[in-house]
Structure formats: structure tokens, C-alpha cells
Amino acid sequence: MELTPKQIVKELDRYIIGQQDAKIAVAIALRNRYRRSRLPEEMREEITPKNILMKGPTGVGKTEIARRLAKLVRAPFVKVEATKFTEVGYVGRDVESIIRDLVEVAIRMVKDEKFKEVMPRATEIAENNLVELLLPIRKKADTGEKSDAQLKEELLSEIRAGHLDGITVEMEIKQQPKPIQLTPGNAPGNEIDLGNIFGGMFGGAKKKRRKLSVKQAMDFIVNQEAEKMVDQDAIITEALARAEQDGVVFLDEIDKVAARAGRDQGHDVSREGVQRDILPIVEGSTVQTKYGSIRTDFILFIAAGAFHMSKMEDLIPELQGRFPIRVELDNLTEEDFVKILTEPDNAVLKQYKALLGVDGVNLEFDDDAIREIARTAFYENENSENLGARRLHAVLEHLLKDILYEADDNVTKEIKIDRDYVVSHLETSMRAASLRKYIL
């Protein structure tokens, strides 16, 4: 992927409003990966990613920036909450499972890509198999005027057109042995699949006759043939390399494991321990997975948190040092809410219009209504908990509750939302928000 930082930011602008500093930081990190890939191997080994630490309230785009970034370059991506992990010796997930999850994502990604490559050939084989399966049934129904070749041509056309999807056929299916998994050393991800081992020793999978619809049979045969065509070892090798070189790990809620000096002694004893366990993964270490070992030196780590009750400086110094790039995300303004409602490719109003369009409702908002919705969301964030852009969903659900409930897919309706409609329907929630500031 040879996108320049400006092009990356432009792509992120399609989905995320504002937060230019954060977008520029991740765009530079991504471009540096490309720059590193063009260097000689000796130099490439010396250059590691500059990890990013984001600070900002919920709902302002921290996770979405990281997710869209990974999607942009087809990089393996995992999002994990730091609060799910505990120090070694306590009950809970260990931090190495983050890297195992990343490898699983990379394998699924590579497998999907390889499947797409062989899908035309696998589909052709599946169609031919189904034609042979359906031919005896069609011959019984035929008066004998058509040759087998003509009947096969007819069946093939009907299968491709989906005319036979509902017809039931009986076919032999290999039964996969149920896996019996043992986990050595209590390390999730290092499973030994005894089901497959003993299945192979005793002559492989048994066959069973099952009744399926033509559509189900088609999907089953396509997947079966695609599995035969792709090289599983090559998938694992490529996936491990991609996870190592292109992987992105988003560590959310990192502020929740920051021990606040003088305030957290004796409380959540494993907080600092979790940070110390995360440290070697971020610094660069080798993690064992069931597919082989993977180095974490070149994985890009993006950590984020609101840091309401703690500060970035409350993280242990060693961990702070591994996140040299600090970005502070802005609170969303009323103008930002107007843009979020209308501009992105996945804008909230576009989503509601599409949902109600299924029931034959054509929903339109005038500019004053959009401005009033944005003003209400901004006001509620200011007067109660700041939920960022997520506040818009709460406001819109309240506003459109009656329309969503009464929508009838048998009647086409034109509904235009104006400012008066918004004010009258949100008046109750606004009054409640106004009263909250007086309640002690």
C-alpha cells in the first residue's frame, strides 16, 4: 500500500470527523511502515514502529481511527480492553493472548483472500457436481426428447439463476471428528487437537448422507473444494509474517490500569502488574502460538484511554517510554455533530434512512432539524456524562421512537422531520438535562 500520509488522512476523513492530530499521527506511523519495507534488510531490522498513546473522552473516534486505519491497508487488527487482563498468578486472561488473537485474525484474513482466488474454479466444480446429482431427477421428469447434454445445460442455467435453490437433494458429507482439546500449561492458543490426530489414525472422517437444499449443497461443496485448493501451510506462513510486520493492536481503557499515586494502594493489586506484563509484548518479544512463534517487535501498538481519573504520567515510566507519540483528542462541538450526522460515508442519518426505507418509509430531515439534533446532543453531553458521538444514537432513538415503532412495510410514507418536530419530541429529555445540574 503506497498511500501518502495526506491520502491516508483523506480516507479517514470519509468516516471520522475532526481529530486531525490523531489522524496525522497514525498516517505517519502507517507511511513509516511502507518506508521501512523499502529499506535494506539490515536497516529494516533496526527500525521499530513508534507506538501511539491517545487521550480523549469516549465516543470521539479513538477506536474508529485505529480500526479504519487497519482496514485501509488490509492489516491484521485486534482491539482489546486492558481491563480484561490480570497479572500473571491471578485469575484472568494473560497478555500473550492478545498476540494469539492477532494471529487468528491474520489467518482468517489470508484464508479469505486465498479463497477468493480459487472461488471461480471451486464454484465451477460445485455446479458440475450438483448437475450430476440433479440429472437423474430431471431425466425422470423429461419425456425423453432431450439429450443428457441438453438437460445438463438446462440444469446449469437454472442453478446459476437460483431457480433450484429451494429443491432438496441428498448427498454424502464427511463428518469431521469432534475435537478433544487439551491445553498444555494453561496457555490458551496452544491447544492439541486430539480429535484430528485420532481421526487420521483410524481412516479419516466417516461419511453420512444428509438432505440439503441446492443452495446449502452449493455452499458446502464450494467451501469443501476451496479447502482442497488452498495450501494451509502457506496460509499459516503468510499470516504469521503479516501479523509480525503489519499487525495493529489497539489497547483500549489503558487508563484503567494506571495506578494513581497515593490513591490506589491496596486496591486492584494487579493494575501495575498488568502494565509490567504488557511491557515485554510492546517492547518486543517472542510469543508462542499453536501455529508457531511470532515476534512482536514490529507490531504497531495504539493505546487509548479517557484519563478522567488518572493521568498519562500515572502509567509506569517503562510503558510510557514505549509510547513516544502522544495525541490528545478534542471534545466534539455542536458543529462536529452536524457533520457527523450528514457527511461521513456511514453518517448516522443515512443509517436511519436506510433502515426505515426497508419498511417503505422515506425519511427526510431539513437543515434546521439537523442543527437542533446536534445542539441537543451537545447540550446533553455538556450537562451529563460526555458520551461523544454515541450521544447522537440516544437522541435519535428517542426522537424516532414513534416512527420506528409505527412503520408499516405495506404502506409507503413520506416523513419530513423539521425543527418543530425535534423540539416537541426532545423537550422532555432537555428539561431533564436542565434539572440534573441542580441535583446534588
Pick the CATH number of 334-433 from 3.90.1150.60, 3.20.20.60, 1.10.8.60, 1.10.3720.10: 1.10.8.60
**pLDDT tops 90 at residue 404:** no
The answer, yes or no, to whether residue 85 has pLDDT greater than 80, is no
Does domain 5-104+238-328 bear CATH number 3.40.50.300? yes
Residue 185's pLDDT is what?
Answer: 44
CA distance 210 to 169: 8
pTM across the whole model: 0.77
Q: Which of 123-127, 159-163, 412-416, 436-440 has the lowest mean pLDDT?
A: 436-440
Residue 202 has pLDDT above 80, yes or no: no
Name the pLDDT band for 438 (thresholds 50, 70, 90): very low
Average pLDDT, the chain: 80
The per-residue pLDDT for 435 is 46
62-66, 300-304, 376-380, 404-408: which range is least confident on average? 404-408
The band of 236, judged by pLDDT with boundaries at 50, 70 and 90, is: very high
Is the pLDDT score of 61 beyond 90? Answer: no
CA dist 87 and 132 (Å) reads 59
Q: What is the pLDDT of residue 429?
A: 57
d(Cα 440, Cα 174) in Å, to the nearest integer? 67
Distances, alpha carbon 308 to alpha carbons 10, 20, 204, 258, 312, in Å: 30, 22, 57, 11, 10
pLDDT category at 393 given cuts 50, 70, 90 is confident
pLDDT tens digits, one per residue of 267-323:
455 667 778 888 888 888 888 888 989 998 888 898 888 887 778 888 888 888 888
Question: What confidence score (pLDDT) does residue 127 get?
Answer: 85
Q: Does 439 have pLDDT greater than 50?
A: no
Would you say residue 434 has pLDDT above 80? no
Confidence of residue 228 (pLDDT cuts 50, 70, 90): confident
Concatenating the DSSP letter of every residue in 167-231 gives: -EEEEEEEEPPPP-EE-GGG-TT--EEHHHHHHHHTTS-EEEEEEEEHHHHHHHHHHHHHHHHS-
Q: What is the arithmetic mean of pLDDT over 51-58?
A: 86
Task: Give the confidence band of 105 by pLDDT, cuts at 50, 70, 90.
Answer: very high
Residue 409 has pLDDT above 70, yes or no: no
Spatial distance between the Cα atoms of 305 and 248, rounded to a whole number of angstroms: 17
Boundaries of every domain in the chain: 5-104+238-328, 109-237, 334-433
DSSP notation for 313-381 = GGS-HHHHHT--EEEEPPPPPHHHHHHHHHSSTT-HHHHHHHHHHTTTEEEEE-HHHHHHHHHHHHHHH
**pLDDT of amino acid 186:** 46
Task: Give 184 or 417, the one with higher predicted confidence.
Answer: 417
Per-residue pLDDT at 156 exceeds 60: yes
Pick 100 or 204 by higher pLDDT.
100
pLDDT at 239: 92
